[in-house]
Chain A
Amino acid sequence: QIRLVQSGAEVKKPGASLKVSCKADGYTFTFYSIAWVRQAPGEGLEWMGWVSGNRGNTKYAQKFQDRVSMTTDTSTSTAFLELRSLTSDDRGMYFCARVGAEEGMDVWGQGTSVSVSS
């Protein structure tokens, strides 16, 4: 069974950093990229970027360019999203998704809820 399992809910203070993990299971991790998508409460989907599963190449949305890092650990088939300098605007659900060669984002994690409050 192919799945992505994300780390649990996070509560952070403004100015702190966030690190979310996304563990792949049931497929060869290095054959696919992982995309990160977030969704503010009551809002639409927002693409944050992607990281390749083999070489760790990245592409970030310009909005997050200066405070985001996406990495991988191939030994554990896990992708990581790090977001720094959090504000209340960073509240929401964060999803990872496998990027198929042609099929788009074909497998999604369950989401990680992030709260930012002083």
Chain B
Amino acid sequence: SYELTQPPSVSVSPGQTARITCSADALSKRHAYWYQQKPGQAPVVVIFKDSERPSGVPERFSGSSSGATVTLTISGVQAEDEADYYCQSGDSSGVWVFGGGTKLTVL
């Protein structure tokens, strides 16, 4: 399997744009997923297949992919977006992996 690399933390002020990256060579061939987890809660998928947004997820959440890096972008960050964010992907044999997680702090 392989590792997905995320920055441990990202900080932004309310209303600004937060970008969280996730990197691995395999991401150039495999889809990535993004999960939001707030303290004491189960994770929630916010982006699937690199850039698709599930129904019910605010439009300010978007995803993109470029080569070996995928990016979760939160435009106009709100206080309620403060959470841990995890990227996830898998290989062709069905083995999955999570990134180490990024703590988003809204200043």
Give the interface of A toward B (CB within 8 A).
Answer: 35, 37, 44-47, 50, 59, 61-62, 95, 97, 100, 102-106, 108-111
Contacts of B86 in A (CB 8 A): 44-45
Cross-chain contact of B48 among A61, A97, A102, A111 (Cβ < 8 A): A102
The contact string, 1 if C-beta is below 8 Å from chain A, for chain B 85-107, is 01010000111111111000000
Besides A104-B45, A108-B42, 5 new A-B residue pairs in contact (Cβ under 8 A), listed by A number: A47-B96, A61-B96, A102-B52, A104-B88, A105-B35
When chains A and B are docked, how far (Å) is the Cα of A84 from the Cα of B106?
41
Decide yes or no: A95 and B94 within 8 Å by CB, A44-B101, A104-B33, A105-B33 being known contacts. Answer: no
Counted as pairs of residues, one from A and one from B, with CB atoms less than 8 Å apart, the total is 63
B54 pairs with A95, CB closer than 8 A: no
The A contact surface, by secondary structure, is strand
Give the shortest distance, in Å, between B24 (CB) and chain A (any CB): 14
Cβ-closest 9 pairs across A and B: A104-B33, A108-B42, A44-B101, A59-B94, A104-B48, A47-B96, A45-B98, A103-B48, A104-B45
B94 CB contacts on chain A under 8 angstroms? 50, 59
B95 and A44 contact, CB distance less than 8 A: no
Cβ 8 A contact of A106, one of B54, B84, B88: B54
Interface residue B44 (Cβ < 8 Å from any Cβ of A): yes
Say which residue of A44, A59, A111 sits within 8 Å of B100 (CB atoms).
A44
**What is the minimal beta-carbon distance from A28 to any residue of chain B, in angstroms?**
19
Tell me which residues across on chain A come within 8 A of B37, comparing CB atoms.
45
Q: How far is the CB of A55 from chain B (nearest CB, A)?
A: 14
Against A, the Cβ 8 Å flags (1 = close, 0 = not) of B60-98 are: 000000000000000000000000101010000111111
Given contacts A44-B98, A59-B93, A61-B95, contact A109 B42 (CB under 8 A): yes
Contacts of A37 in B (CB 8 A): 43, 98
